[in-house]
Amino acid sequence: MRTTRVIALSAVIGASLGGAVLTAVVHAQGAKATINDPKGPVPDPAHIPFVLPKDIKWTGQEGRNQTATLFGDQTKPGLYGVVIKWYPGNFSRPHSHDQERYAYVISGTWWVSTSNVYDEQTTYPVPAGSVAIDKANTVHWDGARLGEKEPAVLVLVGMGPVKTVQVDENGTAKPPAPPR
């Protein structure tokens, strides 16, 4: 019986010490906020500037292809980043860029091809979460296949200025389109 009391007393002391140590560790690390706690103050825009989704400026045609510049400018020297939305059933045509561009697929499925010939059945699915590199001066084209439930949304990052060159079925550069 004495052994049982010693074991029970040891368990109570151990649990109390364990609880005290756990409380001290949590207190030392700071309380963890949950989504149920009130939100903090708006961050100082001099430290962390941000743009809300409703304020992002999109160009292009909704339902086809849209682009939003996150930072920089593709037409000027320096780093740039853009978000591209390819709506289902829309693709670019075979082309190349004179600079490498790095892509991250945020959502949807991005369909790509490296064929000089435009044939949507030659496109390959690149799912959300994937990373790809548009190698400089290599032919590719991309978009989203008809039947997809959502647009393919990707971030492209590269160094400007970047030139895009449309190519024919032989992979030869097409002359630039005349200004409208």
As a three-state string, the secondary structure of 126-173 is EECCCEEEECCCCCEEEEECCCCCCCEEEEEEEEECCCEEEECCCCCE
The pair phi, psi for residue 17, each rounded to 5°, is -65, -45
pLDDT score at 30? 72
Residue 94 CA to chain centroid, in angstroms? 23
**Does residue 4 surpass a pLDDT of 70?**
no
- Positive or negative: CA dihedral 162, 163, 166, 170: negative
Instruction: Read off the pTM.
Output: 0.78
**100 token code pair:** 């490498």
Q: Where are the alpha helices (DSSP H) in 30-161?
A: none
pLDDT score at 155? 98
Percent of the chain with pLDDT over 90: 78
pLDDT in tens, 19-58: 555 555 555 567 799 999 999 999 999 999 999 999 999 9
Angle CA 99–59–78, to nearest 5: 30
pLDDT score at 1? 52
**78 token code pair:** 């320096």
- d(Cα 92, Cα 86) in Å, to the nearest integer? 9
Residue 76 CA to chain centroid, in angstroms? 23
